Amino acid sequence: MGAMGWRSVFYADGRLRAGWRALLYIALFVPFAVVFAGVAALVAPAEGLGALAWQAGALLTAALLVGWLLMSRLEHRPAGALGFAWTSHSARELGIGMAVGGVPLLLGVGALALAGWVEFRPEPGDAGSYAASLLGALVALAVAAAWEEAVFRGYPFQVLVEALGPVAATLTMSAAFAAAHAGNPDVSVSALVNIFLAGVLLSVAYLRTRSLWFATAVHLGWNWTMGSVLDLPVSGLQALDTPLYEPVITGPSWITGGNFGPEGGLMGAAAFALALVAVARLPMLQEAPEMRALGPLVDRRLHVA
C-alpha cells in the first residue's frame, strides 16, 4: 500500500476519520482520568457523597478538558459547541430534564406500591437530615451524571453522528454505555438491556437540543429520584441512605428489578419508554439559537437529514 493508500486509512477529505478521532479521545481521556482521579483520592473523604463528588468531578474535568481540546484543535470550533454552553434555553432544559427523568420513575414505583410490591417503612430521622440528604445527593449525582454525559454523549458520540448518522451512533454509544455497567452488582441481561435503552433516551435528549445540560438533567432526574427520593438502588449500587423511610421490595424481580433497582426490571423499561416519548415529542425541546451559532458537530448531518 502506497503513502496515499495509508493516508486514506486515517484521513478522508483532509480530516482524520471519525473512528480515529473517537479513539484519540479515549486515548487521551484515560490517562487524564487516572491522574485526576488519583489526585482526587488524596483529598477526598474515604467514602460517602463527598468521595463520589470528588471522583466524579475528576472524571468530569478529564472528559471536558479532552473534549474541548479536540474541539479546538481538530474541529476548529469553540468549546461550547460540545454542548455545555449556557444559552437562553438552558434553565428550561434543566427543569424539563429533571421532570422527564424523574416523573416516569415516580409513576412506575407508585404503580408497584399500589400492587403491593413495594412499601416504604418508617426510619429514624428529621426534616433537617432529610433535606440535607436530598441536597447532598443532588449535588454529587449531578457531577456524576455530567461526567457520564460528557463521555457518552460528548465528543466521541458527536463525531460518530457526523460520520455515521444519528441511528448508528446512538446504537454504538448506547451499547458502550451498557457495557460500562456490566460489572455492577446484581447485573442481569434485562438490566443491561434497560441501560442500553437509557443510552438511547439520553442520546435522543442530546440530539433534540444539542445540549449536554439537558441530557445531564434527564440523567440526574432519573438517578436522584431513584437513589435519593425513593432510596432505591441505582444500577445495583446502594451508596445513598435517605432518612425517614426505607423501601422494601417484595414483588417479582423481573418487574421490580430486585437488588439492581428499577433499571433491572420491566417497570424500569416502561419508565424509560415513557421518558423517551416525552423527549421525542415535547415541542419546546429544540436547539437554542446560541447553540446553533456555535456549530455543533452534529448539526450539518442532522439538518441535512
Domain, as residue range, for 186 = 87-304
Residue 197 lies in a domain: yes
**pLDDT tens digits in sequence order for the chain, 305 residues long:** 555 555 666 666 667 788 889 999 999 999 999 999 999 999 888 778 888 899 999 999 999 999 999 999 999 999 999 999 999 999 999 999 999 999 999 999 999 999 999 999 999 989 999 999 999 999 999 999 999 999 999 999 999 999 999 999 999 999 999 999 999 999 999 999 999 999 999 999 999 999 999 999 999 999 999 999 999 999 988 878 899 999 999 999 999 999 999 999 999 999 999 999 999 999 999 999 999 999 999 998 887 55
110, burial (CB in 10 Å: exposed 0-12, middle 13-18, buried 19+) = exposed
Number of domains within the chain: 1
11 CB neighbour count, 10 Å cutoff = 13
Residue 134 lies in a domain: yes
Residue 73 lies in a domain: no
CA distance 205 to 251: 31
Nine-digit cell string for 260: 439492581
Residue found by looking up cell 430486585 in the block:
258
Of the candidates 84, 62, 80, the one whose C-alpha atom is nearest the C-alpha of residue 71 is 80
**C-alpha R_g of the chain:** 20
Residue 2 lies in a domain: no
pTM: 0.94
In this prediction, residue 47 carries a pLDDT of: 79
150 within 8 A of 212, measured Cβ to Cβ: yes
Residue 51 lies in a domain: no
Q: Phi and psi (nearest 5°) for 288?
A: -70, 145
Strand partners, 237: 234
Residue 12 lies in a domain: no
Nine-digit cell string for 256: 421490580
4 CB neighbour count, 10 Å cutoff = 8
Of the candidates 264, 258, 253, the one whose C-alpha atom is nearest the C-alpha of residue 188 is 264
Residue 66 lies in a domain: no
In this prediction, residue 13 carries a pLDDT of: 66
How do residues 261-276 score in pLDDT, each as one tens digit? 999 999 999 999 999 9
Q: Measure CA of the first residue to CA of the last residue in the chain; give whole Å.
A: 35
223, burial (CB in 10 Å: exposed 0-12, middle 13-18, buried 19+) = buried
Angle at 100 between CA 64 and CA 153, to 5 degrees: 25
Nine-digit cell string for 4: 496515499
Residue 46 lies in a domain: no
Give the number of C-alpha atoms closer than 13 A to the C-alpha of residue 246, restricted to the C-beta side.
7
